[in-house]
Chains A and B, each alone.
Chain A
């Protein structure tokens, strides 16, 4: 009987580069997630003021949030506005991106910069300018005015992500469809649109989040009893700085995350990540 062979341990050498890489990634993640963790701690802390360390765990602030009509009405209004902005941004932004990429438009660079300009202008000025324009036009501050304002700042996101997809688009696929007898409309809906969909929807996700969290533009455009959640939270904070603010923030974060997940289920996050 032969002696048992010594066990060979496949020991990998210490990789300092990889360790550094993982550590940096861990620190970056902690940096990004720490504020959310702190907000969660505040939301669950039962004291009537924001303090650290927490003295216990309670859902009283979540209960207060959902039992206060000002909060829930504002939440539904924000969701409604963000939903409309998502649809409008996709339609307008997608069309603009196609025109910019395919239209052979004169002054294409200028037009691209023009459509991106809402991102360069401080949002508070956009809100103030629209507020004055609406009042001068005598239309007051209707909800559709708020939706238009949010759309204005959200469209550049859709344009940018769609242009990124169109940049790598192989037009020979469209030509092949046309050669095979497909009409231009059919080519658009059955070839072009499915291929640029990840870019359009990725921009739509940004548009939704930008609108849902929009504060500076909304500040001047909301009306009494028609305030969006960020505006209600800001005003609440001036008088009652308690855990309801943190609970509202958690609800807001979870809703935004839900939308991203739903869209991921619909269009696939992998396609989005490729961008």
Chain B
């Protein structure tokens, strides 16, 4: 005979079994992040994110669809669309000005921040930088050009119509280049009058809007020398492509990959854990060697071929020049109007 206790016990067990997935689901936190596409996105989706989810028993919703900042701006601050924002430094500063992201991420929140190079947590960075690329000059090795040693080499009259840069209002590499023109032809990165004058002298110049387009312009031979980040050239290492990268003697501009946490995040601890995870030496090595980015963590030991080219020592990172994006963003509208006028047509 089935007792009342057995019926109740069986019923409770059945209910628990049926409810288990939803209870588990309710306990599984979701971390909402932004991340890049391309090779970076492939490594993140195949290796980094699954490992993070397993270790922290969570799910990660990784948005790869631009534009991140307008979507974050349009979402409520107390329930933001993202918990962790991954962008370049210029956009992080915009978000910080609007109170959408935090000021700094300290070792207290993410212990691996203690091991980063000074540039990754400098006063030019909000949040923390996890990687950087060096913006310098890419060039064709089959066009009889000597390896450029200075930013001024881009102005060589022989390169008329075969030099390349970016549409400044929409691309931070173009913005970096403009500031660099101020430094080499004027009094410093903020000497805009000198920069505008120098920009005028670079015409005719081919301009692209997406960062990834410049490497294709170099590969196809449409451009013989152009402003580009080192990873855009190094990623063709060993593929017999006639392109190379040069770090000008005046220094290279930093194109930092920055992570930051949104103040209204409901899973802030998990967000900090993710930032910390991205700064772990093994994660850094995997991504640095996968996409040729220079790691922010000083303790990362890269394989020889990467170590030789990337910024992995104090001496090498000393060549990095970090723009003051707060200063630039405050003048962006005027700069955009001026450069559009200069480069019109």
Q: Contact residues of A with B, CB < 8 Å?
A: 47-51, 128, 131-132, 135-136, 219-220, 222-225, 227, 231-232, 234-242
Contact = CB atoms under 8 A, between A and B. Distances in A.
Contacts of B70: 128, 220
Contacts of B41: 239
A224 B34 CA distance: 9
A47 B219 CA distance: 10
B81 A135 contact: yes
B71 A131 contact: yes
A49 B220 contact: yes
A241 B210 contact: yes
Contact of A50 (B61, B63, B71, B220): B220
Given A50-B216, A219-B67, A231-B65, 4 more contacts: A51-B222, A128-B70, A237-B210, A240-B37
B74 A135 contact: yes
B37 A235 contact: yes
B340 interface: no
How many B residues touch the partner, as a band?
Answer: 20 to 34
A76 to B, nearest CB: 17
B96 interface: no
Contact of A224 (B62, B76, B211): B62
B212 interface: yes
B219 A136 contact: no
A225 B38 CA distance: 15
Contacts of B36: 239
A57 B65 CA distance: 32
Contacts of A241: 210, 212-213, 216
Nearest to A52: B220
Interface in B49-80: 61-67, 70-71, 74-76, 79
A181 to B, nearest CB: 57
A47 B236 CA distance: 14
Contacts of B62: 224
Nearest to A242: B216
A128 B210 contact: no
A235 B210 CA distance: 10
Contact of A234 (B66, B79, B219, B220): B66
A219 B68 CA distance: 10
B32 to A, nearest CB: 8
A51 B220 contact: yes
Counting chain A CB atoms within 10 Å of each CB, the highest count among B81, B211, B221 belongs to B81
Nearest to B38: A239
A128 B211 CA distance: 25
Nearest to B62: A224
8 contacts: A135-B79, A219-B67, A232-B65, A237-B212, A238-B37, A238-B38, A238-B66, A239-B39
Contacts of A222: 65
B211 A238 contact: yes
A49 B235 CA distance: 14
Nearest to B239: A48
Contacts of B38: 236, 238-240
10 closest A-B pairs (Cβ-Cβ)? A239-B38, A49-B216, A51-B220, A49-B219, A49-B220, A238-B210, A239-B37, A224-B63, A241-B216, A239-B212
Interface in B208-264: 210-213, 216, 219-222
Contacts of A234: 65-66
A46 to B, nearest CB: 13
A170 to B, nearest CB: 50
A220 B212 CA distance: 23
Contacts of B63: 223-224
A135 B75 contact: yes
B300 to A, nearest CB: 23
B65 A219 contact: yes
Contacts of B37: 235-236, 238-240
